[in-house]
């Protein structure tokens, strides 16, 4: 990409898309276009936004024909935690397939030079060995609760691979671990574990509650990456990587849910107790990505979990003072 390239960030109002926009602006890219759907954009400086429903095939075609972007980051998706994934199963499958089909196919029809598609670590089988290598894709059954979302994401990365093979396009795909940071979703019905814990500890502090309860033994291990590290990795891959193999993006280290909760408790400043409700299920024991391919390509994340959560909490406080 050169600094004047026309770069379309799909999903630019979301946590990942807005982080990619921030990174591009910081790195001097001057021609960024974004779209919004239900939410008005917060990061409008240096970006031109138009309203677009990416589910609508005709509208997406008109948008690509009009704008003819050089590069595309596809960070638009229907996203949520376990409950949302399991409750809105049909929507997670339909909307994610539809959004990515519309973007990928119109990128091809209008001659986009390069595209990066964002998937997720939930594409991997439920019981695969740890840490999870890219090669483990499609080697066993998926976790049923998020199977619709995972199947859509697998279809997306396979679209990139097969458009490259049949049409000679240059589409790459990145599979990030659990992300957190500015613009995260703090709705307890649909959020992921880390933002949910930030909200729970904050509300407990504000309400002077004696304790905060989390489900399970607290022993499952999970990996988390600040979204600014993810955005830096995406822009780095867009500029340096042309392979047909998708790339895991993660921090490379994991933490128990109990230690994560204790860290958030400390950062938020909640002085009550952490209670573990061991009558509730734990979920998968460990989920850690093998990031040796990303490392070999020359990228290493730099934001520690402690600094990253402090940054996310600052952002949370601007929205829920």
Number of shown-chain residues binding ligand NAP (CB under 6 A): 27
**Phi and psi (nearest 5°) for 55?**
-80, -20
User: C-beta of 41: minimal distance to ligand NAP in Å?
Assistant: 9
Distance CA 129, CA 139 (A): 11
Which tokens sit at 310?
A: 């402090």
Indicate which single residue of 2, 38, 166, 207 sits in contact with ligand NAP (rule: CB under 6 A): 38
Distance CA 305, CA 316 (A): 16
Instruction: List the interface residues with ligand NAP, window 173-192 (CB under 6 A).
Output: 176, 178-179, 192
Q: What is the DSSP letter of 176?
A: E
Identify which of residues 204 and 227 has a Cβ nearer to ligand NAP in the complex.
Answer: 227
**Phi and psi (nearest 5°) for 242?**
-120, 15
| DSSP SS3 for 7 | strand
Instruction: List the interface residues with ligand NAP, window 95-114 (CB under 6 A).
Output: 99
User: C-beta of 233: minimal distance to ligand NAP in Å?
Assistant: 12
CB 249 within 8 A of CB 230: yes
Omega cis (within 30) before 318: no
Instruction: List the interface residues with ligand NAP, window 188-247 (CB under 6 A).
Output: 192
Distance CA 133, CA 56 (A): 35
Q: Does residue 37 interact with ligand NAP by CB under 6 A? A: yes
* SS3 of the chain: helix, strand, coil, percent, to 5: 45, 20, 40
Binding mask 139-178 for ligand NAP (x = CB under 6 A): -------------------------------------x-x
- Residue 71 bears catalytic tag: no
Q: Does residue 42 interact with ligand NAP by CB under 6 A? A: no
Task: Determine which one of 36, 149, 171, 241 is catalytic.
Answer: 149
User: C-beta of 185: minimal distance to ligand NAP in Å?
Assistant: 6
List alpha helices for the chain, DSSP H.
15-26, 57-67, 82-87, 89-109, 147-167, 193-206, 227-240, 257-268, 292-296, 305-319
Q: Does residue 22 interact with ligand NAP by CB under 6 A? A: no
| DSSP SS3 for 31 | strand
Indicate which single residue of 20, 75, 159, 291 sits in contact with ligand NAP (rule: CB under 6 A): 75
Indicate which single residue of 17, 131, 181, 308 sits in contact with ligand NAP (rule: CB under 6 A): 17
Binding site for ligand NAP (CB under 6 A): 11, 13-17, 35-39, 52-55, 75-79, 99, 118, 120, 176, 178-179, 192
Q: Any idea which residues carry the catalytic annotation?
A: 149
């Amino acid at each position: 990409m050169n600094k004047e390239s026309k770069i379309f960030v799909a999903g630019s109002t979301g946590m990942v898309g807005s982080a990619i926009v921030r990174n591009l602006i910081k790195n001097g890219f001057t021609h960024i276009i974004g779209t919004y759907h239900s939410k008005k954009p917060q990061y409008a400086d240096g970006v031109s936004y138009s309203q677009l429903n990416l589910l609508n095939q005709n509208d997406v075609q008109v948008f690509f024909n009009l704008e003819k972007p050089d590069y595309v980051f596809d960070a638009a998706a229907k996203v949520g935690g376990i409950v949302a994934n399991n409750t809105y199963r049909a929507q997670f499958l339909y909307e994610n397939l539809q959004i990515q089909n519309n973007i990928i196919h119109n990128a091809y029809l209008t001659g986009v030079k390069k595209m990066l598609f964002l998937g997720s670590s939930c594409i991997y089988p439920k019981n695969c060995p740890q840490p999870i290598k890219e090669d483990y894709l499609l080697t066993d059954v998926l976790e049923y609760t998020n199977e619709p979302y995972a199947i859509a994401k697998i279809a997306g990365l396979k679209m990139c691979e097969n458009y490259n093979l049949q049409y000679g396009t240059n589409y790459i795909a990145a599979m990030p671990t659990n992300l957190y940071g500015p613009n995260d979703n703090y709705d307890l019905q649909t959020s992921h574990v880390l933002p949910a814990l930030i909200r729970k500890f904050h509300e407990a502090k504000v309400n002077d509650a004696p304790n905060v309860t989390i489900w399970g033994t607290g022993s499952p291990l999970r990996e988390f990456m600040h979204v600014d590290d993810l955005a830096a990795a995406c822009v780095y891959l867009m500029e340096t990587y042309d392979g047909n193999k998708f790339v895991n993006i993660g921090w490379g280290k994991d933490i128990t849910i109990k230690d994560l909760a204790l860290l958030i408790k400390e950062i938020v400043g909640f002085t009550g107790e952490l209670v573990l409700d061991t009558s509730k299920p734990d979920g998968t024991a460990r989920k850690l990505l093998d990031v040796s391919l990303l490392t070999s390509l020359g990228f290493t994340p730099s934001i520690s979990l402690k600094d990253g959560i402090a940054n996310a909490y600052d952002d949370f406080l601007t929205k829920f003072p």
